[in-house]
Amino acid sequence: MKLAILSCLLASVAAFAPGSPANARSPTVVLKEADVAVEEVAEVAEEPAPVAEVVLKPKVPLGGGGHMWGQSDFFFGERVWDTLTMDWGSEQTGKFIRAAEIKHGRSAMLATVGFAFHKSGLTLDKISIHEYLSVTQGIKFADLAAMTPPEAMKMVPAAGITQMFAFIAAFEIYEMTHTPDELVRDSRVAPGLMAGGLTGDIGWNPLDVEITDRRRKAELQNGRAAMVAISIWISHDAIQGSVPFPPLPWN
């Protein structure tokens, strides 16, 4: 009787004991699988990350270089040019900057000629058939000839400055609205406002001069020299002692 009761108790205890699942794995198998997983993760981590393809922009030619220090094409500011045309812009940016340089160079060349004429005494009071620049304001050409070029420029009336501005604006509007061949009428955006639309070439060549690379280079170099020259001359006359060079020929 006692043995029967003890057997029943053991059976009931075994019923509440946690049993081993059918798919249970031994600790050794689990550790081996963990090692394999770690090795796979390590292999994935060791694979090099994909490198993004770097596309280098072609260098935009600067043009108009000179010979200096043994270099066939030497430029001041070439690094700035490369930054503007390659890092921040494109070849179209270079065309816009080149057009601006050509226009400034042409203006500076005209300014240097006018400045030299004034300093040499070849003023309008000796050339013009008119005595007055402005009759209403009593400004005579002879009065302007006795001044320095910067002082004479300050005496030009507002109407005269307006005429100069209108003359320049006419050329700018012409270039903005024309292609080398014709006036653009059927476009919502002016050609000069498009990328690379301004080139400094308005197609005006009454002498039918052959445009060669040598002439383009000469214009760029002369324009750059004129920009430096007119800046020095105006500074010399406007601010005494601002130019640390020997006296100019007309002083």
Residue 132, pLDDT score: 93
Q: Is 71 helix (H, G, I), strand (E, B) or coil?
A: strand
Dist CA 152 CA 161 (whole Å): 12
- Pairwise pLDDT comparison (221 vs 55), residue with the higher score: 221
Tell me: the pLDDT tens digits for 7-43?
Answer: 554 445 444 444 444 455 555 554 555 555 555 555 5
Tell me: the pLDDT tens digits for 160-187?
Answer: 999 999 999 998 898 888 877 778 887 7
Dist CA 14 CA 32 (whole Å): 32
Dist CA 126 CA 108 (whole Å): 24
Identify the band that residue 247 occupies on the pLDDT scale cut at 50, 70 and 90. low
Other beta carbons less than 10 A from residue 157's beta carbon: 13
Tell me: the pLDDT tens digits for 181-209?
Answer: 778 887 788 888 887 788 888 778 888 88
- The full 3-state SS of 112-126, as one line of letters, equals HHHHHHHHHCCCHHH
* H or E element that contains 134: strand 132-134
